[in-house]
Amino acid sequence: MPFPVELLTTQTECDTVLNALNLELRVFTVRDQLLDLQADQSADRATDRSQNLKEANDTIDRLTPVVASLTPGTTEHTELNRLLIRAQRRAQDLNAPTTTARKPTDAFLKAVDVRQVQVQVPELQQAIAEVTARRAAL
């Protein structure tokens, strides 16, 4: 459905509308880039967190039987037990919910933002094209 460009009767009106549309397009383009960046960073953090948790669990799995077989009070037992405790705490920290964990409502609103940008940008581009054509015809 075409925009009602016939309402614009002068090149000045077209210029005013084009300036406003281009500004709005820049805003939506920045929002689109920001949403992409946030998604990329979120995926990277999840991957890093998963890898760190795997490493901590591997350390726990490796050290638990060794520490259990050593004589308590020995230097080796003390040092390896300290490493085991550190790995256990790290795993607990990584298993704890993140402070940036989103609620379902936040995730829903983010999805609305993404769809709004996906729909709005082509509409703005179409409006700009139609107003530009109208301006050239005046």
Q: Say yes or no to pLDDT of 99 above 70.
A: no
| Residue showing tokens 């459905």 | 1
Q: What one-letter code names the amino acid at 102?
A: R
The pair of structure tokens assigned to 34 is: 């920001």
Phi-psi category of residue 99: left, alpha or beta, with phi > 0 → left and psi -120 to 50 → alpha: alpha
* Token reading at 47: 């991957």
Q: CA 13: distance to chain centroid?
A: 39
Q: Which amino acid is at 48?
A: D
103-123: per-residue pLDDT in tens?
788 878 888 888 888 899 999
Q: Show the domain range for 111.
A: 5-137
Q: Mean per-residue pLDDT for 2-21?
A: 97
For the chain, the domain total comes to 1
Residues 47-71 have pLDDT tens digits of 888 888 999 999 999 999 999 999 9
d(CA 30, CA 83): 46
Of the candidates 39, 93, 40, 88, the one whose C-alpha atom is nearest the C-alpha of residue 62 is 88
Cβ neighbors of 95 (< 8 A, separation 6 or more) are: 53
The phi and psi torsions of 10 (rounded to 5 degrees) equal -135, 160
